[in-house]
A and B are shown apart, each in its own frame.
Chain A
Amino acid sequence: MIPPGSSRRDGRSDTQMAMVTIDGRRVEADAGTTILEAAKKLGIDIPTLCHHPDLAVQAVCRICVVEIEGQKLLQPACAYPVQDGMVVYTNTPRVRQARKVNLELLLARHPQDCLQCVRNRNCELQALAERFGMREIRFEHKLRGLPEDHSTPAIVREPDKCILCRRCVSMCHDVQAAGVLYPSRRGADTVITPVFGRGLDEVACALCGQCIHACPVGAISERDDTARVWEAIADPNKHVVVQTAPATRVSIGEEMGLPPGQIITGKLVAALRRLGFDKVMDTDFTADLTIIEEGNEFLKRLKEGGVLPMITSCSPGWIKFGEHFYPDLLKHVSTCKSPQQMFGALVKTYYARKAGIDPKNIFSVSLMPCTAKKYEADRPEMCDSGYKDVDVVLTSRELGRMLREAGIRFEDLPEEEHDEPMGISTGAGAIFGATGGVMEAALRTVYEVATGAELPAIEFEEVRGLEGIKEATVRVGDLDVRVAVAHGLGNAKKILDLLREGKADYHFIEIMCCPGGCVGGGGQPIPTTMEIRGIRGRALYEADRRLPYRKSHLNPAIKQIYAEFLGEPLGEVSHRLLHTHYTPREKYPWMSRAACGGEAAG
């Protein structure tokens, strides 16, 4: 907190304005804002590449350079602060030459096979080359021949495509606090890499995929599993079931050319049917189920003096991060599986029995906003149905690819309903996809289950929105329940460090790996910026308001599954199918592998 009247750390007063002249036009801007921002006010779109609205200034690509009167050197518009009286030129021959030569330098070491690239037509480098009319590259074109990283089921790295903008580094360090990606070697040999050139499987990577959102090109992407899904759909012996994650219903539209934040639940269901899925069911259903199990687990911990605060467990990126960096705190994590894995375990047991289908013929696909879900589905313990509970995880982007390939157009689609028995859900399940949503959904249920009274106001504004860490206190019976919500691993780290020091005075903590929660997941459409995360999140709250049921425990399908199959919350069947355990991992997994005779650092 800055006391009133004091100057800020940077010595600038808050109200100081600067009159700047850019390309002959005058504009007033806060002193200290960048030339880039000031130019934007004038409608001048200075080209950028290493700049990202949500990330720290890099100023390394030198595409946005401009001329400032009285300065010999060109300066990066993305970083240079305006000062009163400054005169800037953004489009002189010297500026254009510098931008083009720097772009030429990048293109000379970048693959030219855009047609085969996952980011074709959604690539910032390609767009710049088009914008600058790059018809010739005067430097010899040569690729570096760096090895690709296919070591994880979630993320693929192709360093030959990397333009060394370092946005992923900033994302991985500053936002996600994982510190996996870092520049190594120097000069033209520089690579962005996990330590010692190891694969992502050998480092403490959460597989959150936020680096994909940071990447302007195709150097980092999700593993594409669409071929396996096409194959299963084409197999007459396979009964292919798909579940749709909460956050995908407000984002898939972007893959199909719609603006962010469109609620397309019904069209998504119709589209999936037209792709050939036999059943389209809803992860929101198991989100509701998670609330029942987790809510009861929380009440049990409260009642029986169990480990508190309890931390949510839906986000597999957070789980992996926690296993690597906070193995000592795993006892705080709810034993509930994530909604994806609950669904997976039930589809090959409860649904199989109900539908009279041999579970070995069920092919279970999940549509997720997330790359870490691919890893979660592959965890060895996620086979409680007797089979692999979730066979393939598709990210929003992969589904977009399938829909476009199949020629499905959203504008032509009707709105359709999810299939039963795991298709009915509540608004509480829907808001799982936004930061604070799991906490809000849990509070709606915990309050009513614990007190037996109806909740007076069901919208918990304190836990909504994009503030990094949110806190609230809710009176439940005679107890003030203190809750906290963190999204993005950097914010999670702050709370976890407090917890480790014994200073986190909460009962219940929600942690979501990705900024904004699952709406900002690493598998979501590109671009995903803070602004877009916010828009998608608000759409989920809108979807919640539109639904007839908004509390998980009122979901009739939930009541049905307990009556027919599970028995009671935290019961024996639940324990077997819906709960899990965690694996303490090391911060430097490659070290112990090296000690076991693994290959030397490369």
Chain B
Amino acid sequence: MLEGCKGVREALIAEVKRQGLDKEVKVVETGCLGPCDLGPVIVIYPEGTLYQKVQVSDVPEIVEQHLLKGRVVRRLVGEAPQAGVVTYEEPTYLGVQERIVLRNCGVIDPESIEEYIARDGYRALARCLTEMKPADVIEAVRKSGLVGRGGAAFPTGLKWSFTAKAEADQKYILCNADEGEPGTFKDRLILEGDPHSILEGMAIAGYAVGADKGFIYVRGEYVLSIERLTKAIEQARALGLLGSDILGSGFSFDVEIRKGAGAYVCGEETALIESIEGKRGEPRVKPPYPGTEGLFGKPTVVNNVETIANIPPILLNGPDWFRKFGTERCPGTKVFTLTGDINNKGLIEVPMGITLRRVIYDIGGGIPGGKGFKMAQTGGTSGGCLPRELLDVPMDYFTLPEHGSALGSGALLIMDDSHCIVDIAECFMRFFEHESCGKCTPCREGTARLREIVARIARGEGRPGDLELLDELGSVMQASSLCGLGQAAPVPIKTMLRYFRDEFESHINEKRCPTGTCGI
């Protein structure tokens, strides 16, 4: 919840009280609805009127006009036809969204377990514990076709089955909430908006694989996420939904929070495990995989926040229901974070396989300032940069890699045609140089050399052979780095060389930056 909201919330509570409406109107602070550029927002139920960009000075008018007189304050509801309504049952807005993961975000009070329960919360867990065997739970998840939403797209059911099969006196469920990919903030908003869905999903995972202990590894900067998770854990314990003998089933499960200290690499599952163990956050050599030998050497499931948030609805509605969304190969939805040169920035949840064009133009409202589209980077800073020609590629975990990119965590960075590709490349490479953990040669040295070479091209000091060297170094990093960081770091450069090579060449051969950004 950003600062502007706090003032509006306080003003609203005060104004409702001043008008004597505090018996009839309840002001609820929710998690984020998604549209970053429209905030602060107020949704007034039951009709679901969405007020945008509300200032403290607008509050008396909303209370007086809408709450007292029943008139919509037109100037605050936006222009798009559907933009003004967010219904409680269908919390979509801005068209074409499907909300599974974000089903409760922006709708319920995330600090109230009762509100979560009122929207079928913990029913999936109850069903698992009372009606299903652990193997049935895994089978349902497997059938749903859910794949990991952190970026690696590993089939979740399969992952669980490895840990379920492993024999051990102790197993763990880890929720990876170390959301470090630049431009990604979906996990944060899920945690802030619907923390109980994560606890419920983790408990289901624990039941499925035979783990009684879970850890949520959260970015240390996610103060509100940590606060709300902490409250949620206390509430769930108080109601016996976490702890020993949950719902009298004999199954016990509890969750603890671990805070990350700011290393990007700790989002890599084995580095995350090292960090929880109190060690330097660095990836381990695989195999062994965490599924059989993870936290403290015990079989461990590591799932991303968004993956876990999908679990309760899948168990509640069944795998066939889930497969109705998205594509055959990649069922379900994906939460994207839209940033950059786009009119509607923010968080959206759409079916897998939606095209970039629909996201940018139908949901995102297109490129601002009358500028042209240049490229979209999918999957965060470690994702590929796609040109205009690929606007109609369906976005899912299998199609994007065919074009040298990745869906990754779901970050979408849109850039207009005023940006220089070499300049952007240097910026991205600086990030990886900074975040490489330094363990393996190709990533430690390669990220620094990539950045140096791109920097000299940007300065107009590029040499013949530089592009081939970038390409070769990138390939070796992708093939031989120890973990996903080094394997993915060259992806943006590789796709830029593939789709925007002429821009690099004009920097090197003509000492000219076509957009005038690089000042050479």
Which listed residue (B285, B449, B472) contacts A79, Cβ 8 A? Answer: B285
Distance in angstroms from B164 CB to nearest chain A CB is 14
Q: Tell me, in angstroms, the Cα distance from A65 to B437 when the chains sit together.
A: 20
Judge if B436 is at the interface, Cβ distance under 8 Å: yes
Question: Given contacts A186-B263, A188-B433, are A105 and B442 in contact (CB under 8 A)?
Answer: yes
Judge if B480 is at the interface, Cβ distance under 8 Å: yes
Q: Which residues in chain B, 469-510, are within 8 Å of chain A measured between CB atoms?
A: 469, 472-473, 475-476, 478-482, 487
- Whether B479 lies near A74 (C-beta < 8 A) is yes
Q: Mark B442-464, 1 if CB is under 8 A from A, else 0.
A: 10111111001000000000000
Judge if A81 is at the interface, Cβ distance under 8 Å: yes
Q: Which residues in chain A, 161-195, are within 8 Å of chain B measured between CB atoms?
A: 164, 166, 182-183, 185-190
- Whether A183 lies near B280 (C-beta < 8 A) is yes
Closest chain B residue, CB of each to CB of A49: B441
- Whether A108 lies near B436 (C-beta < 8 A) is no
Judge if B287 is at the interface, Cβ distance under 8 Å: yes
Sample of 21 A–B contacts (CB below 8 Å):
A59-B440, A61-B440, A62-B482, A73-B478, A94-B479, A97-B475, A101-B472, A102-B476, A102-B480, A105-B446, A105-B449, A106-B441, A109-B445, A139-B449, A139-B452, A164-B438, A183-B439, A185-B438, A186-B263, A186-B435, A188-B448
Q: Tell me, in angstroms, the Cα distance from A226 to B261 when the chains sit together.
A: 48
Judge if A19 is at the interface, Cβ distance under 8 Å: no
- Whether B441 lies near A62 (C-beta < 8 A) is yes
Inside 8 A of A186's CB, which chain B residues have their CB? 263, 435-438
Judge if B166 is at the interface, Cβ distance under 8 Å: yes
Distance in angstroms from A61 CB to nearest chain B CB is 5
Inside 8 A of B442's CB, which chain A residues have their CB? 62, 98, 101-102, 105
Distance in angstroms from B271 CB to nearest chain A CB is 11
Judge if A503 is at the interface, Cβ distance under 8 Å: no
Inside 8 A of A164's CB, which chain B residues have their CB? 438, 441, 444
Inside 8 A of A65's CB, which chain B residues have their CB? 479-480
Inside 8 A of A59's CB, which chain B residues have their CB? 285, 440, 482
Q: Mark A3-44, 1 if CB is under 8 A from B, else 0.
A: 000000011000000000000000000000000000000000
Closest chain A residue, CB of each to CB of B446: A105
Judge if B292 is at the interface, Cβ distance under 8 Å: yes
Inside 8 A of B480's CB, which chain A residues have their CB? 62, 65, 73-74, 98, 102
Inside 8 A of B519's CB, which chain A residues have their CB? none
Q: Tell me, in angstroms, the Cα distance from A106 to B442 when the chains sit together.
A: 9
Most buried by B among A72, A102, A106, A187: A187
Most buried by B among A62, A63, A190: A62
Closest chain B residue, CB of each to CB of A97: B476
Inside 8 A of B285's CB, which chain A residues have their CB? 57, 59, 76, 79
Distance in angstroms from B417 CB to nearest chain A CB is 32
Closest chain A residue, CB of each to CB of B443: A187
Q: Tell me, in angstroms, the Cα distance from A106 to B440 when the chains sit together.
A: 11
Q: Mark B275-288, 1 if CB is under 8 A from A, else 0.
A: 00000101001011
Judge if A138 is at the interface, Cβ distance under 8 Å: yes
- Whether B447 lies near A187 (C-beta < 8 A) is yes
Judge if A504 is at the interface, Cβ distance under 8 Å: no
Inside 8 A of B18's CB, which chain A residues have their CB? none
- Whether B479 lies near A187 (C-beta < 8 A) is no
Inside 8 A of B478's CB, which chain A residues have their CB? 73
Q: Tell me, in angstroms, the Cα distance from A539 to B472 when the chains sit together.
A: 51
Distance in angstroms from A63 CB to nearest chain B CB is 8
Q: Tell me, in angstroms, the Cα distance from A76 to B480 when the chains sit together.
A: 8
Judge if B434 is at the interface, Cβ distance under 8 Å: yes
Closest chain B residue, CB of each to CB of A105: B445
- Whether A105 lies near B436 (C-beta < 8 A) is no
Inside 8 A of B472's CB, which chain A residues have their CB? 97, 101
- Whether A187 lies near B435 (C-beta < 8 A) is yes
Inside 8 A of B469's CB, which chain A residues have their CB? 138
Distance in angstroms from B214 CB to nearest chain A CB is 23
Closest chain B residue, CB of each to CB of A138: B469
Inside 8 A of A138's CB, which chain B residues have their CB? 465, 469
Which listed residue (A60, A74, A97, A102) contacts B439, Cβ 8 A? Answer: A60
Inside 8 A of A304's CB, which chain B residues have their CB? none
- Whether B444 lies near A190 (C-beta < 8 A) is yes
Closest 8 CB pairs of A and B: A190-B438, A105-B445, A187-B436, A188-B448, A101-B476, A59-B285, A98-B480, A62-B480
Distance in angstroms from A86 CB to nearest chain B CB is 13
Q: Mark A68-99, 1 if CB is under 8 A from B, else 0.
A: 00001110100111000000000000100110
Q: Which residues in chain B, 167-209, are within 8 Å of chain A measured between CB atoms?
A: 167
Distance in angstroms from A146 CB to nearest chain B CB is 14
Inside 8 A of B280's CB, which chain A residues have their CB? 182-183
Question: Given contacts A74-B479, A98-B480, A139-B449, are A183 and B438 in contact (CB under 8 A)?
Answer: yes
Inside 8 A of B448's CB, which chain A residues have their CB? 187-188
- Whether B439 lies near A108 (C-beta < 8 A) is no
Inside 8 A of B445's CB, which chain A residues have their CB? 105-106, 108-109, 188
Closest chain A residue, CB of each to CB of B288: A10
Closest chain A residue, CB of each to CB of B452: A140
Q: Mark B286-303, 1 if CB is under 8 A from A, else 0.
A: 011000110000000000
Inside 8 A of B433's CB, which chain A residues have their CB? 187-188
Inside 8 A of B287's CB, which chain A residues have their CB? 80-81
Inside 8 A of A105's CB, which chain B residues have their CB? 441-442, 445-446, 449
Q: Tell me, in angstroms, the Cα distance from A185 to B434 when the chains sit together.
A: 10
Distance in angstroms from B381 CB to nearest chain A CB is 15
Q: Tell me, in angstroms, the Cα distance from A62 to B480 when the chains sit together.
A: 6
Closest chain A residue, CB of each to CB of B456: A140
- Whether B440 lies near A189 (C-beta < 8 A) is no
Inside 8 A of B473's CB, which chain A residues have their CB? 101
- Whether B440 lies near A62 (C-beta < 8 A) is yes
Q: Tell me, in angstroms, the Cα distance from A267 to B442 when the chains sit together.
A: 48
- Whether B292 lies near A98 (C-beta < 8 A) is no
Distance in angstroms from B443 CB to nearest chain A CB is 8
Inside 8 A of B436's CB, which chain A residues have their CB? 186-188
Q: Mark A108-127, 1 if CB is under 8 A from B, else 0.
A: 11000000000000000000
Q: Tell me, in angstroms, the Cα distance from A81 to B289 when the chains sit together.
A: 12
Q: Tell me, in angstroms, the Cα distance from A187 to B440 when the chains sit together.
A: 9
Inside 8 A of A62's CB, which chain B residues have their CB? 440-442, 480-482
Q: Which residues in chain B, 385-410, are within 8 Å of chain A measured between CB atoms?
A: none
Distance in angstroms from B397 CB to nearest chain A CB is 15
Question: Given contacts A11-B292, A97-B472, A101-B476, are A187 and B449 in contact (CB under 8 A)?
Answer: no
Inside 8 A of A102's CB, which chain B residues have their CB? 441-442, 476, 480
Q: Tell me, in angstroms, the Cα distance from A102 to B487 when the chains sit together.
A: 14
Q: Tell me, in angstroms, the Cα distance from A59 to B433 when the chains sit together.
A: 20
Closest chain B residue, CB of each to CB of A79: B285
Distance in angstroms from B439 CB to nearest chain A CB is 5
Closest chain B residue, CB of each to CB of A65: B480
- Whether B441 lies near A187 (C-beta < 8 A) is no
Closest chain B residue, CB of each to CB of A99: B480
Distance in angstroms from A73 CB to nearest chain B CB is 6
Q: Tell me, in angstroms, the Cα distance from A102 to B482 when the chains sit together.
A: 12
Closest chain B residue, CB of each to CB of A142: B452
Q: Tell me, in angstroms, the Cα distance from A62 to B477 when the chains sit together.
A: 10
Inside 8 A of B288's CB, which chain A residues have their CB? 10
Closest chain A residue, CB of each to CB of B436: A187
Inside 8 A of B166's CB, which chain A residues have their CB? 11
Distance in angstroms from B459 CB to nearest chain A CB is 14
Distance in angstroms from B205 CB to nearest chain A CB is 21
Which listed residue (B438, B465, B479) contacts A188, Cβ 8 A? Answer: B438
Most buried by A among B167, B441, B446: B441
Closest chain A residue, CB of each to CB of B451: A188
Closest chain A residue, CB of each to CB of B486: A62
Inside 8 A of B292's CB, which chain A residues have their CB? 11
Distance in angstroms from A135 CB to nearest chain B CB is 16
Distance in angstroms from A100 CB to nearest chain B CB is 9
Q: Tell me, in angstroms, the Cα distance from A72 to B479 when the chains sit together.
A: 7
Closest chain B residue, CB of each to CB of A73: B479
Q: Tell me, in angstroms, the Cα distance from A10 to B436 when the chains sit together.
A: 31
Q: Tell me, in angstroms, the Cα distance from A189 to B447 when the chains sit together.
A: 12
- Whether A189 lies near B481 (C-beta < 8 A) is no
